[in-house]
């Protein structure tokens, strides 16, 4: 089977692991930087070119669209869908997960517990806003961001006001989110593949840091969690129609809540902490997804 991996670089950990797993399973793998794609939209026959040649048609597409190339990457994914290729995570699902507010809205509409979150554009309502999220400290997040980038903490009303003023003057939108002190700089990353949880790690922030992301120096430990946590993660992935998802859960006094859902989750920390071959499981699912798509096409 020909597997196309959309990735900025073949040297990235996840891309290298996917390539190795694909070859071990006897599949042909192509790694393509979305920025090298020329998207041709036409009434009768759209296409994608790489340099001056049409893209070699794969059997299935595994998108790994980073936050830095969201718009162009999604245009490429949409074009691949348009020409009839099975894509493991659809462009619409990636869009929904990448926008933090839209993601939380979809989760809440589907009954998934999320932290109390506010979007606003008027600092005159700041006292009311702080009352709604339980007062300071609060977490402030850019609507788009990844790996802890664009996530800040405001520990007083004054610092929040200054932070909002700066961000709004830069033309950016932010979310104000309740801070859960009992989490103590820890959260859970649950990897969901094909509606099943294949691994869970507890991410622990380094000293002096409230963000637990591995890229920010956080530590990862393999853990077992109650079935209710697994069900919550699966429900979050299902609500966003993501076949592969990294679901970030924070534990609060009122129960687990989904903070974010990542459509291109990294899994280096999970593989090292659990010893699982996560890449192989994802490639196996990708192949199954392609086979089912082929069967549906024949039956249509």
Helix axis angle for 91-98 and 70-82, nearest 10°, is: 160
Q: Is residue 123 predicted with pLDDT exceeding 80?
A: no
Predicted pLDDT of residue 287? 98
Q: Return the percentage of the chain with pLDDT > 70, whole number.
A: 94
pLDDT band at residue 67 under the 50/70/90 scheme: confident
Q: Is residue 4 predicted with pLDDT exceeding 90?
A: yes
Q: Is residue 146 predicted with pLDDT exceeding 60?
A: no
- DSSP code of 193? E
Query: Cis omega before residue 137 (within 30°)?
Result: yes
Among the listed residues 61, 97, 90, 53, the one whose alpha carbon sits nearest the alpha carbon of residue 74: 90
Q: How far apart are CA 188 and CA 121, in angstroms?
A: 31
- 255-262 and 151-154 strand pairing: unpaired
Q: Is 38 helix (H, G, I), strand (E, B) or coil?
A: strand
Predicted pLDDT of residue 208? 56
Q: How far apart are CA 128 and CA 100, in angstroms?
A: 22
Predicted pLDDT of residue 145? 60
198-208 pLDDT, tens per residue? 999 999 887 65
Q: Is 189 helix (H, G, I), strand (E, B) or coil?
A: strand
pLDDT band at residue 300 under the 50/70/90 scheme: confident
Cross-strand bridge partners of residue 60: 3
Cross-strand bridge partners of residue 221: 202
Predicted pLDDT of residue 148? 54
Q: Is residue 168 predicted with pLDDT exceeding 90?
A: no
Residues in Cβ contact with 45 at an 8 Å cutoff, skipping those fewer than 6 apart: none
pLDDT band at residue 147 under the 50/70/90 scheme: low
Q: Is 239 helix (H, G, I), strand (E, B) or coil?
A: helix
22-42 pLDDT, tens per residue? 999 999 999 999 999 999 988
Predicted pLDDT of residue 214? 59
Predicted pLDDT of residue 212? 58
Mean predicted lDDT score pLDDT of the chain: 91
pTM for this one?
0.90
Q: Is residue 46 predicted with pLDDT exceeding 90?
A: no
251-278 pLDDT, tens per residue? 999 999 999 999 999 999 999 999 999 9
| Tokens of residue 72, six digits | 């162009």
Predicted pLDDT of residue 258? 97
Among the listed residues 133, 169, 128, the one whose alpha carbon sits nearest the alpha carbon of residue 154: 133
pLDDT band at residue 209 under the 50/70/90 scheme: low
pLDDT band at residue 69 under the 50/70/90 scheme: confident
Q: Which of 57-61, 116-120, 122-126 has the lowest mean pLDDT?
A: 122-126
Handedness of CA 149, 151, 155, 161 (dihedral sign): positive
């Amino acid at each position: 089977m020909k597997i196309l991996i959309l990735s900025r670089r073949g040297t990235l950990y996840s891309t290298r692991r996917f390539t190795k797993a694909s070859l071990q399973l006897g599949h042909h793998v192509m790694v393509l930087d979305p920025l090298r794609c020329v998207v041709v939209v036409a009434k009768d026959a759209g296409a994608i070119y790489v340099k001056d040649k049409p893209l070699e048609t794969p059997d299935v597409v595994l998108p790994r669209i980073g936050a830095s190339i969201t718009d162009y990457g999604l245009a490429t994914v949409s074009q691949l869908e348009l020409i009839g290729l099975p894509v493991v995570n659809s462009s619409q699902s990636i869009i929904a997960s990448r926008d933090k507010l839209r993601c939380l809205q979809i989760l809440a509409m589907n009954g998934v517990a999320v932290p109390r979150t506010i979007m606003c554009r008027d600092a005159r309502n700041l006292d009311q806003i702080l009352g709604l999220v339980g007062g300071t400290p609060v977490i402030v997040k850019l609507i788009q961001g990844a790996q802890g980038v664009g996530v800040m903490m405001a520990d007083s009303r004054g610092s929040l006001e200054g932070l909002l003023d700066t961000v709004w003057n830069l033309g950016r939108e932010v979310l104000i989110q309740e801070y859960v002190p009992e989490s103590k700089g820890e959260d859970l990353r649950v990897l969901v593949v094909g509606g099943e949880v294949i691994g869970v790690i507890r991410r622990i922030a380094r000293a002096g840091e409230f963000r637990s992301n591995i890229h920010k120096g956080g530590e990862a430990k393999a853990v077992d969690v109650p079935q209710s946590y697994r069900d919550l993660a699966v429900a979050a992935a299902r609500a966003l129609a993501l076949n592969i998802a990294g679901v970030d859960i924070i534990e609060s006094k009122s129960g687990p809540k989904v903070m974010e859902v990542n459509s291109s989750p990294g899994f280096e920390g999970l593989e090292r902490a659990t010893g699982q071959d996560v890449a192989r499981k994802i490639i196996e699912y990708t192949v199954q997804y392609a086979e089912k798509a082929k069967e549906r096409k024949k039956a249509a």
